[in-house]
Structure 1
């Protein structure tokens, strides 16, 4: 039945007037549209795109190629394709593109197709929720389950890598601040808005690290003092002795070097890292400590610059890594002057930041943040055979391709860039779903 429906859909193309409008607006759509997993899954839910079509679109290496690929398929996908496409644009917060495409329909009173306007808003909203659940479902066609590491890959890499075979692999802590107290009369420095899409990010992280065989603990909307107490309690857990790593994810508003609690007070990131160092958390000595921070690190917006010549640069920013390496070398020189068996106080850490120093993250949407979306996809596809630092380089590259919205600017004209710091001493492969053979 499903195959019959697909054949019928392919045989009956889009209405000529809708084809013409897509053709007329194709240049603007190619430049400004964001084709991501949620938009594609909404079109799949409507039966407009098949699984193989969705995969071919998302496999394209640049945003413009993804846009052109989708626009070339839509005219062949039946008379409902245009209406479903407009609804998907509106539900993914690209209303200006939807309005641009539907101008001609507002003048056609006898249109045989339902207009993607207010009368269809409620059922489409319900379907969007289903699509969101699909995004979070590892078994859905858009987001695959974490791919397993092979026995051969493990045997060829484990000797140069951190031990990573315990089950669970480690403990993971996710602290997600979505809502914030209003400013007191005496005044907090900022009136912190609700982090739209924060619930999506926290659920994405919970699911992917559970699949990576971590025991995940999630805490929501903690004050700065509550975050501090939660982290202190987490570092004291005796389970750390029996596992091979740990993960800490902090999702909140932030400034350079700190994140906000739900009460508008700041928690210093340096204190967080110190809490897990070799002196304060001996249970994790010589084990990798993995941190992810989804928060602003300043207020500047990166509006980008025009590329003037040459091929697009693809190297990782790396400045944070070089700084970390210099700091590590300095510490190691000092340590060599002391007793040989001592460890540097802070080592075996890697931290992924959603933004560069001093810059603000793009506004979150109801489908979550760019950084967590890209991190989730990269971990699922590449953790089976890729060093974690290389995965974060790939995430940097995907974020660099995107363009977004910032208040006071034109749509899709601001840039974002993620980065990471590292004091790892070995290769860090997660070896997902690998169980050591007896």
Structure 2
């Protein structure tokens, strides 16, 4: 019986190995550096080899597979936890006692996840004198590993890392600060445990003496990067940064008032269980749903050709097919044709077995509206209202996602390789607005009914940008983040937060043009796409 159980356990590990991609394996290797000799990790190329070593050292066995669960949790492959009988909450509860990955290693990994490709390129350039002369393109984890091997980075030496972040990504300094504060807090607690009782009593604060008490972890609360979705309809504008990145918010603001004299230590995220997990939309039906893509490239009258849009449409099709949706693409549709297609899908019986609707519109636009190829405008709200519960009952209570790649305002200046998804200004005559000035910008709105999500490429009144060969910033970021974060069990709102962060960091070659996406929603539950069995399209041959 033991032999059968052992084979079953190894079979589970083998299935996990097959589900982990190259980046996942690299992440697991990095997290294991403090309990697997680096010389052995260097030659390991699969998760299977890592698991075998952990078994050989009795770090993992079928009776106690927690370390595997911890690693999967750290790399956010939460959907794989169930293979070992764990939930996310159970892993969080056990981490303080059974966790193997050091706080220092966790901090470096969190930092690496926040590095963009541009950040990494800048870091490699700045550190070129410390890196191997003949060097292939490296990941952020590989860069950190090289710095550790050269003794330029360690648990007690974070100076170079902080200087690097100061130069290329100051907003990431709060991750390091949070780790250092936690380390000091842990040290203080340990000293309190070992100090004589008289000393421990003396250090208990009372009245004004509490000002000299050390600040413990949790005294300053840093909001996470997830968005605060409190109202039934929430609109997010601007990049989301941690509290600690604001130079005007200082620790002393939290000290000196009676209610903050000696704040109790807040339970950190890993040591507390979730108070109440929000419910999830049902996404395990016989049909995941349909994805409608309207890809308008060629226009009449004053509107220019949207070169590069085909790349967006192809990428969207690949990603949503990978997510299990049936994709239907409509190229170059007039306003009348678009409305006719929407009316047809509004009355379709296909929604009865579908989990969701996704609709992507790639076109020129103005404030709250998009153009058909006949240069006529359609209000975005009208497009979405075809699928309200009243007009499309079969989609009632099901999530309806709309992603709009179009400008929402005007601007005359263009970059060489970036084209605004609005007017072709080179062919805009002096009387192009002879009917009068445009009305004042209004926020794009969505139906007041529940279960809608609207992802706009840009905030109202501004241009969105499109590379004539590589596609738009927004759609390319959306497709990249879906492929990266769906396998980690992230919900759609968390993914769109990452899309906001990605796009907000981009700029034209002169660093002058920027863009900020804007999600709005009336979702009532978390939307989590089931993890596909196939690797993401970006990893497929």
**Match for residue 486 of structure 2?**
383
The answer to whether the 8 A contact 1:399-1:416 is kept is: yes
Aligned 1:126-275 pairs, distance under 5 A: 160-181=279-300, 183=301, 191-275=302-386
- Deviation per residue, 1:95-149 (Å, 9 max, x gap): xxxxxxxxxxxxxxxxxxxxxxxxxxxxxxxxxxxxxxxxxxxxxxxxxxxxxxx
- List runs of 5+ in structure 1 lacking aligned partners: 1-55, 79-156, 184-190, 304-318, 329-345, 406-410
C-alpha change, 1:292 and 1:365, in structure 2 (3 Å) is: same
1:404 to 494, 508, 517: 508
Deviation at 1:301, TM superposition (A): 8.1
- How far 1:433 moved relative to its partner? 2.5
CA RMSD of aligned residues (A): 3.2
Q: Deviations over 1:216-272 (max 9, x none)?
A: 000000001011111111222211011111100000000011111111111111111
Q: How does 1:28-67 map to 2 (within 5 A)?
A: 60-61=115-116, 63-67=118-122
Q: Distance in 2 between matches of 1:365 and 1:248?
A: 23
Question: 2 CA distance for matches of 1:58 and 1:192?
Answer: 40
Q: Distance in 1 between matches of 2:506 and 2:454?
A: 22
CA contact (8 A) 1:213 1:432 kept: no
In the other structure, the counterpart of 2:391 is: 280
Give the number of aligned pairs.
Answer: 255
| Structure 2, gaps ≥5 residues long | 1-110, 137-275, 415-441, 535-541
Q: Residue 308 of structure 2 contacts residue 471 of structure 2 at CA under 8 Å; is this kept in 1? A: yes
Q: Determine helix, strand or coil for the equivalent of 1:169.
A: strand
Q: Which has more radius of gyration?
A: 2
Alignment deviations for residues 336-370 of structure 1 (CA, whole Å, 9 cap, x no partner): xxxxxxxxxx2100011100011111243211011
For CA contacts below 8 A with separation 6 or more, give which structure has more relative contact order.
1
Instruction: Note if contact 1:320-1:420 (Cα within 8 Å) is conserved in structure 2.
Output: no
CA contact (8 A) 2:367 2:443 kept: no
Scaled by the length of structure 2, what TM-score is found? 0.43
Deviation at 1:158, TM superposition (A): 9.4
Question: Contact (CA 8 Å) 1:298, 1:359: kept in 2 or not?
Answer: yes
- Asked whether the 8 Å contact 2:466–2:473 carries over to 1, the reply is no
Which residue does the alignment assign to 2:538? Answer: none
| In 1, Cα distance between equivalents of 2:114 and 2:133 | 20
* CA positional deviation for 1:70: 6.1
Q: What secondary structure does 2:291 align onto?
A: strand
Residue 470 (structure 2) aligns with: 367
Task: From the superposition, tell whether residues 168 and 296 of structure 1 become closer, same or farther in structure 2 (CA, over 3 Å).
Answer: same
Q: TM-score, normalised by structure 1?
A: 0.53
Q: 4+ residue runs of structure 1 moved beyond 6 angstroms?
A: 56-59
Q: Per-residue deviation at 1:434? A: 7.3
Distance 2:316 2:515 in 1: 21
CA-CA distance at 1:430 after TM superposition: 1.1
